[in-house]
Structure 1
Amino acid sequence: MKKVALAADHGGVQLKDEIIEYLKSKQFDILDLGTNSGESVDYPEYGAKAAVAVTNGEADCAIIMCGSGIGISIAANKFKGVRCALCFDAYTAKMCRQHNDANIMALGGRITTIDRAKDMVDLFLETEFEGGRHQRRIDKLDALAAESWK
Structure 2
Amino acid sequence: MKFYVGSDHAGFAVKALVCNYLSSKGHEVIDLGPDSADRVDYPDYAKKVADAVVGNEGSFGILICGTGIGMSIAANKVDGIRAAHCNDYYTAQMARAHNNANILCFGERVSGPGVIESMLDAFINTEFEGGRHENRVEKIMSLEERQNA
TM-score range, shorter chain: over 0.9
Counterparts of 2:25 and 2:142 in 1: how far apart (Å)?
A: 36
Q: Could you tell me which residue of structure 1 aligns to residue 141 of structure 2?
A: 142
Q: Could you tell me which residue of structure 2 aligns to residue 109 of structure 1?
A: 108
Give the deviation of 1:20 after TM superposition: 0.6
Residue correspondence of structure 1 range 72-91 to structure 2 within 5 A? 72-91=71-90
Counterparts of 1:149 and 1:115 in 2: how far apart (Å)?
A: 40
**TM-score normalised by L of structure 2:** 0.97
Q: Could you tell me which residue of structure 2 aligns to residue 37 of structure 1?
A: 36
Q: Aligned letter for 1:76?
A: A
Q: Aligned letter for 2:46?
A: G
Residue correspondence of structure 1 range 1-150 to structure 2 within 5 A? 2-57=1-56, 60-150=59-149
Aligned positions, number:
149
Counterpart contact for 1:84–1:106, Cα < 8 Å: yes
Q: What's the C-alpha RMSD, in Å, of the aligned pairs? A: 1.0
Give the deviation of 1:91 after TM superposition: 0.8
- Any unmatched runs of 5+ in structure 1? none
Q: Which segment drifts farther, 52-61 or 97-106?
A: 52-61
TM superposition outliers: structure 1 runs of 4+ over 3 Å = none
Give the deviation of 1:36 after TM superposition: 2.0
Give the deviation of 1:110 after TM superposition: 1.2
Q: Which segment drifts farther, 93-102 or 50-59?
A: 50-59
Counterparts of 2:148 and 2:107 in 1: how far apart (Å)?
A: 28
